[in-house]
Amino acid sequence: MAIVIVDDTILSREVIKAFLRTSGYLDVISVNSARELYRLVDGYSDLGIVEIDLILIEIIMQDIDGIETCSNVKMRESMVDIPIIMLTATTEKDSLQLAFSAGAMDFIKKPLDRVELLARVRSALRLKHETARRKARETELLEVTRQLQVANERLHSLSLLDGLTGIANRRNFDQELIQESRRAKRENTPFSLIMLDIDYFKAFNDTYGHLKGDECLKTVAYLLKKTLKRPSDFPARYGGEEFAVVLPNTDEVGAGIIAEELRDSIEKAGIAHGNSLCSDYLTVSLGVVTVFSEQARTPNELILAADKALYRSKNEGRNRLSVGRISRTS
């Protein structure tokens, strides 16, 4: 980390360099013009990229004066936090005010006093290092905050997923149903709900064991996601062996077609179920209900209507779907 002296007078540069080096500041670079300083801070000098701790600039120089030099350096993003001390033989208030406005943090009067110079340098370097430490700490805190935010978002996401099947859980389903119910009323569109239940699932567990039962539930969830075509279609595990699908902007005909596709895909998966009373393979029973925008119905009423249709499917032999009805009168 270097201290840079900018002065077009050789004697002045050498005196300052001697003061600094005899006091332990060995990395001292001296340049004789603003343009040479620009090349240095931009990494174009023979020294390449230089880490600068402090710049001492003479105000009065023949080519580009110190005030303009200071202002131009401070325009560089990498130099915003680098302290600049102006060296001046003048005490004119206007010049000093211009120097501070240009970004200088301090000034030292010429002829230079060694003790004063070193005291001002030490103070500037302390301030620079403290600023760097504070910024590093702020960056670290921002990163920790970002990581916590990511972790919280991940936890929130996980809290909305069923731990076994990986699809939405009951809590997530309840939120989605409320949201889509409100959207349907607001946008004057129909939406549908499917409730489905694995047929004779207790017998499946008793026959093949609970591990196979868990695999069965995961397979059904996978088939639901695979069969549903639209990103807005929302499958969820409602509880136990029961699943639900929210179908935004879907009328009775569309919901019936989708329900039949779900039933068919699960039966055709060919999961053996030797103790099912309706098939040699795993099947599901489904209840479908559609609500229209003019129907002021609560989500619980939709679930109740779909459940009634589901139990009608069970009572009529299972492995089938039934359509529930909600009166169009509010």
- As a whole number of Å, the end-to-end CA separation of the chain is 78
DSSP 272: B
Separation of CA 202 from chain center: 43
Other residues' Cβ atoms within 10 Å of the Cβ of residue 220: 25
Active-site residue (options: 58, 176, 180, 241): 241
241 is an active site residue:
yes
Could you tell me if residue 245 is left (phi over 0), alpha (psi between -120 and 50 degrees) or otherwise beta? Answer: beta
Contacts of 153 (CB under 8 A, 6+ apart): none
In three-state secondary structure terms, 270 is coil
The set of residues, in sequence order, having a beta carbon less than 8 Å from that of 268 and lying 6+ positions away, is none
Of 280, 273, 266, nearest to 221 (Cα)?
266
Cβ atoms 19, 47 nearer than 8 A: no
Residue positions annotated with a catalytic role: 241
